Amino acid sequence: MPKTFEGSERPQEDTAGEEREMSRLRSMRKWIVVGVAVVFFGYLMTIVVNPYEGERFEKVPHGDHVHYVPKERNEDVPISEFPTEKPGPNERILPDGRVVQERP
C-alpha cells in the first residue's frame, strides 16, 4: 500500500522538484512574453518608418492642409504645385505635380 502524507509531511525532493519546475515555467513564460513584445515592437517600427508602403505617393503637411506628392518627385517643383486631394484609383501624380489618368 502506498504511503500517504498528511499536511506538511511531504518529501523534500518532491518540493524541490516542483519548485524547479515552477521556476522553469516562469522562465519560459517570461521568454514567450519577451518574444511577442519584440515581434510587436518590430511590426510597429516598420509602420512608423514606412507609413505609406505600397502607395505611389506621400502626404506632406503644408500649413493647415496636406499635399499628395509622388515618391519620384521633382525637387525643383514647389510643394504648393502638388494636389491637396488624394488621387483616384485610376489617377497618377506626375513628378511635376500634374494629375493624369492612368492607362488601363
Strand partners of residue 59: 68
Percent of the chain with pLDDT over 70: 82
Tens-place pLDDT, residues 37-78: 999 999 999 888 876 666 778 888 888 999 999 888 889 999
What pTM did the predictor assign?
Answer: 0.50
Q: Where are the domains of the chain?
A: 11-49, 57-101
Strand partners of residue 99: 93
d(CA 71, CA 53): 11
What confidence score (pLDDT) does residue 3 get? 57
Query: Mean pLDDT across the stretch 6-30?
Result: 75
